[in-house]
Amino acid sequence: MSETSRSLNFIEHIIEEDLSKGFPENKLRFRFPPEPNGYLHIGHASSICLNFGLGLKYEAPVNLRFDDTNPSKEEQEYVDAIKRDVSWLGFEWDTECYASDYFQQLYDWAIILIKQGKAYVDSQSSEDIALQKGTPTEPGKASPFRNRSVEENLQLFEDMKDGKFKEGEHVLRAKIDMASSNMLMRDPIMYRILHKPHHRTNTDWCIYPMYDWTHGESDYIEQVSHSFCTMEFAMHRELYDWFLDQVVKETKVRPKQREFARRNFSHTVVSKRKLLKLVESGVVTGWNDPRMPTISGLRRRGYTPESIKAFANTIGIAKRDNVVDVSLLEFHVREHLNKIAPRVMAVLNPLKLVITNYPEDQEEWLEAENNPEDEAAGSRKVPFSKELYIEQEDFREEANRKFFRLKLGGEVRLKNGYIIKAESCTKDTNGNIIEVQCTYDPKSKSGSGTEESLRKVKGTLHWVSVKHAIQAEVRLYDRLFTEETPDTHQEKDFMDFINPDSLKVINAFLEPSLASAEVGEKFQFQRMGYFNVDKDSTPEKLVFNRTVGLRDTWAKLQVKN
C-alpha cells in the first residue's frame, strides 16, 4: 500500500491541519520520552512507531528523551535497554536527550517564577498538603505558606537546593488556583527534596523537578512541535500549557500536547509496575523472558522488527479504550516469518517408525526445499534411513477419513521421501504405542518423477532419522495469563490469573543441518511452527524457543468434536 493512499489517523489530521494553517513543515519535531524505570513493551512500540513514523513521513527529527526526574526508580540499565530496543526496531533518533540535562535551566526558570510571585515554598507535610487539596467536588484550601515573601521563598528554595533540609521538609509549589475543577491546577508541586544519587547527575542535585514542570519545558527546550502522550495525561494539558505560558517566547515554537489511547493487549499486562512484579516475583526469568510482552521479550521469542512495525501500523492510533487481540500480533509474525524462515524438520514428540523393507545399513540424503515461498533459498540434503522418528500425534491405530495422517493399513508420504504404509505397531505394558512398523514403496521417492512418486496420498508427515538426529531443548510458550484481561477485575489481582503452563520444556529431535544454527536464527519446523535459537543455546546444547505455532485448522476441528 502506498503511503499517499493510506488514510490518516487523528494525530496526522492534527499535523496536517497545523501545516495548512501555516505551521512551517521544517519546524516539525517529535520525541519519544520514556522514563528509564523499566523495559519497553509492545504498547511503547506503538508510541515509538507513531513518533518515529511521523519523523520519517515528514522528514522531521525525532529525539529520544529520557524522562529521568525520579532517581529513586530510574537506572542506567533501563536506559541501555531502551536504546537497544528502539534501535532494534530500526529507528534512528536525532538527539539523545535527558530531562536531567535541563535541571539547571529548569531551576533558573523556577527562580523567575518565584520572583514573579507564581511559585512558593510550602513547608507542610505531604499529608497536610493532600488534605488541603480538596476533592473533585470540593475546592482546596490555601496553604498557610502560600503568601510567603519572595525573599523568603528565594532563600528557602536556595537552601533546599543546597541540601540544608531533609527529604519532605519543603517543596516548591506553583501558585495557580486551589479552587480549580482540575485537581492538577491546585498549586501543583514543582520540586521535592530527594537525597538520592541520580544515574547521570549523581549528587549534583538534591531537589528534583516533577513531571509536569519538566515535560513541557523539555519539549520547549528541544523545540518539539508536537508532543504526544497517552490519555491519562489529558488533564495535565492545562498545566502543561500554564507552565509553557511562563517561559515561551513568540519567536520560538510552542509545543502542543495531544493525547492518544494507550494500547491494551489480551492475555497479558502492559504496565511497567506490573511487569516489574512479574520479574521480581520470579514468575518469569527477567524482563526479556520470551513470555513477556516487552520488546526484548518478543525479540528473544523470535519476533522480528518488521512484524512488530506492521502490527503497530495495522492497529493504528485512536482515543478510545481498547483491547487488542494477540492473534493480530501473531498474524504479523507468521506473515513475516513465512517469507523468511527456512523450513526444517524437527520432531517434538517422538514415536519410532521402522521401515521393515528398507535395507538395514542403507542411508540416503534426500533433497529438501528450504522455503517454498522463496526460490532463492535453495535446498539442502536430509538423511533418511530405516529407523525414523515421527510425531506421536501423527499415528493412530484406527481413525476416520478426516484423519489425514498415518493409521494401520493406511498410506502417507514422508516429506521429501517415500510413501509408506503402516503395517503394525507395538505397545508397552501400559498399552502405549512405542513403535510403528511400516513398509515403503521404493519407487515413490520424492522428485524422482516416476509414476509412483506422483501418486497422491492425503497426508504428508515430517520425520527425522533416528541415527542422524540431533537433540535440542525446545521451549514451548503459552499465554502468560489465563484471562483475557487479567488486570481489569476489581476483586482479583492480576497475579491470580497467571497461567501455570505458560512454559513447557521438552527434548526434541532435529535434522542434522540444525547443528550449526546460531543464536537468533529463525526456522519453521515444518507443520509445527516457527522457532528461533535462544541465547541460552550453546554448540553442545541447542535451545530453541517456539515463537508461534502455525495456523492449525486440524486443531480447530479437534476442539469442535
At 79, give phi and psi (nearest 5°).
-60, -50
- Paired sense of beta strands 529-533 and 542-548, if any: antiparallel
Q: Which of 272, 309, 405, 475 is catalytic?
A: 272
Residue 272 annotated as catalytic: yes
Q: How far is the CB of 322 from RNA (least distance, A)?
A: 4
Stated as kind and residue range, the H or E segment containing 414 is strand 411-414
Q: Which is nearer to RNA, 13 or 504 (CB)?
A: 13
Q: Which of 73, 262, 274, 352 is catalytic?
A: 262
Q: How far is the CB of 413 from RNA (least distance, A)?
A: 5
Residues in the chain: 561
C-alpha cell, 494: 492480576
Residue 262 annotated as catalytic: yes
Rounded to whole angstroms, how far apart are CA atoms 386 and 134? 82
The C-alpha angle 475, 462, 530, rounded to 5 degrees, equals 35
- From residue 364, give the alpha-carbon distance in Å to each of 226, 383, 461: 64, 6, 18
Q: How far is the CB of 137 from RNA (least distance, A)?
A: 4
Q: Which is nearer to RNA, 21 or 560 (CB)?
A: 560
Q: Which is nearer to RNA, 8 or 19 (CB)?
A: 8
Rounded to whole angstroms, how far apart are CA atoms 337 and 335? 6
416: Cβ contacts below 8 Å, ≥ 6 apart: 366, 367, 368, 369, 382, 446, 447
Nearest one of 366, 384, 513, 388 to 446, comparing CA atoms: 366
Q: Which is nearer to RNA, 135 or 251 (CB)?
A: 135
Q: Which is nearer to RNA, 8 or 252 (CB)?
A: 8
Q: How far is the CB of 505 from RNA (least distance, A)?
A: 23
Residue 166 annotated as catalytic: no
Q: How far is the CB of 250 from RNA (least distance, A)?
A: 26
Q: Which residues of 426-450 are buried (b: 16+ CB within 10 A; e: fewer)?
A: eeeeeeeeeebebbbbeebbbeeee
Q: Which is nearer to RNA, 289 or 350 (CB)?
A: 350
Q: Which of 35, 306, 369, 435 is catalytic?
A: 35
Q: How far is the CB of 345 from RNA (least distance, A)?
A: 9
Task: Give me the active site residues, please.
Answer: 35, 262, 272
